[in-house]
Amino acid sequence: MKTFLQSAMVWTYLAANNSSLGAPVHSDTQLQGVTCPSASFVTIESGKTVAVDWVEHQADRVHTRVVLMQSRVVDATIKIRPDETAVHSSVVLSIAGERTEEPKERSLGDGAIYWSDFITSSVEQAVARARRLNVSVAHLPAASLYSDSRGDVLVERIDDTDWTVTYHHKRYLVVTDNNGCMLSATLPEFGVVIERRLHFGTAEYPLWARYDAPPDHGYASKESTIGVWGNRRAITHPRPPTTKPTTLKAS
């Protein structure tokens, strides 16, 4: 069975469907825009932290910095309309220890939310859009941050603070506060829990430095000088079967 992050990497975006809206469920006074406080969404799979999304909200934009498996970084700024649809995105991708890619700037068109399987705040934004529409069931056009493709996100309201968000064959069970700010989400079929935390610093989920041993201590790292026809090379030297391999770093 694929892990949550593997599934996120292989699903392609589907063609967008027209919006399909359920019956109104709230009065107009409950639909005033709310800026959620900055926080971190910590993704835990089978008891291990596999991603963290640091989210900063402003009145007209969301800044999100995601670290996946302590190695890949997605840094995105998305401009948001008052109706919670997305206007424009700027995304910078990088891998720990490697050169940062050039920013990917995209106009996201009209009437769509932004979505990336890697960016947890996408789920919160889908709920925010459904709340703004004031319906019990909403099919939301979702704009990719990387291409012109769009998909269809299904948001269903269970009650004032419980929701389901379905996309890419994944069904998130979402809990919000009374203002619609996401407190947690789960993907039971993947064994995944997403928790909102107000105080989770970057030092608590550091990047995997180049040539170092992995942060989960799966194997050790030692410095070593190895000559190969007059050149120096870095290799991985396996230990005996009872232990895990050691990464050797050329000096």
Tell me, what's the pLDDT at 229? 62
Output the CA–CA distances (angstroms, integers) from residue 46 to 49, 68, 116, 195, 215, in the order listed. Answer: 9, 15, 22, 14, 17
* Sequence-ordered list of residues with C-beta below 8 angstroms from that of 152, at least 6 positions apart, any chain: 14, 16, 17, 139, 140, 141, 142, 167
> Which residues of the chain have a pLDDT value below 50?
1-2, 6-23, 25, 27-31, 238, 240-251
Tell me, what's the pLDDT at 9? 37
**Pairing between strand 170-176 and 104-107?**
unpaired
CA torsion through residues 218, 221, 227, 232, sign = positive
pLDDT tens-digit series, residues 174-228: 999 999 999 999 999 999 999 999 989 999 999 987 666 666 666 666 666 666 5
Tell me, what's the pLDDT at 234? 55
